Amino acid sequence: MRLFTWMTIILFSPIDSFSQIVDKVEGPIEFVYDSSKEYDLKAFVFMPSDISPNSSFPAMAIFHGGGWSIGEASWSFSLAKKYASKGIVAIAVQYRLSDQKGITPLDAMEDARNAIIWIRENFKELHINRDKVAAYGWSAGAHLAACSAVFYSSSNDKAVNSIPNALLLVSPALSITNDDWFKQLLMDESEAIDCSPAENLRENMPPSIIVVGRDDSVTPLYESKLYHQNMLKYENDSYLHVYDNVGHLFTPSGQPDDGYPNPDKEVQAKAYNELDNFLKELKYINE
């Protein structure tokens, strides 16, 4: 993907259609989930209003888009508020951004894994069920969410791993073997194939849902199809929803989708409704 593409799409919040978010949400509560790097990496936690000492809610880690090089956790805040209002402890995750000087997507992939591990290790303080930790991402953030499962790691004592219990992937970057921008960011630290979720799937992957536009020119549909086909190949649960007449992040076909997105609100709402249905099936939300 072109640098211009990744630098412009990240200005878009994928939940613009949600104009009414329930106010009774606690947060953001700021935590440091990794202090071992050159700067503290933070998790911004939004909790349901009915938190009590004995509460145990599902959790969701949210990874923003931005081509691995631009963005901030605050882009996920409205989305986190939405899910917290539905009874999920929602966590907007900060991760290291590629700078073509030393930080690469490999570092962001590590951060995504560490964030999931931190969430599970702190399940009591966060009032969560550590066996119900979903990961949500859009565009490059969806790549990181998927990577936390595909290229997983464990805590020091191996008691906790980074594999989410469910994946929600919006206009996702799932096969980056031919992505020149990603390869440039890697700076020869790895082969792209070794960072590409679709080509490295296996059995016992968490259930996944993908929502994507048929005419996506940024993260083309074939990436999602390959991921979905390989998930089914290994008998994993996978749900692919393709929306006609829209491109990346539901930008109407005929409009450039590699610039500032202008999502079709109706299609966008349908896609988010499918995400909610997926969460209902998994008993993350009840309504």
CB neighbours of 39 closer than 8 A, spacing ≥ 6?
none
Provide the pLDDT for residue 54. 85
Which of 161, 159, 190 has the alpha carbon at shortest distance from 176? 190
- Who has greater pLDDT, 55 or 80? 80
Q: Is the pLDDT of residue 44 over 90?
A: yes
Please report, for the chain, the start and end positions of each structural domain, with discontinuous segments joined by +.
3-15+25-281
Task: For 86, list phi and psi in degrees, rounded to 5.
Answer: -100, 5
Q: Note if the pTM is more than 0.85.
A: yes
Q: Is the pLDDT of residue 168 over 50?
A: yes
- Dump pLDDT digits (tens) for 204-220: 999 999 999 999 999 99
Q: How many other β-carbons are positioned within 10 Å of the β-carbon of residue 233?
A: 12
Tracing tokens 């949400």 back to the chain, one arrives at: 25
Tracing tokens 């071992």 back to the chain, one arrives at: 36
Provide the pLDDT for residue 286. 83
- Dump pLDDT digits (tens) for 88-108: 999 999 999 999 899 999 999
Please give the CATH number for the structural domain made up of 3-15+25-281.
3.40.50.1820
Q: Is the pLDDT of residue 241 over 70?
A: yes
Average pLDDT score over the chain: 92
CA distance 107 to 151: 13
Q: By mean pLDDT, which of 15-24, 55-64, 176-185, 242-251 is the weakest?
A: 15-24
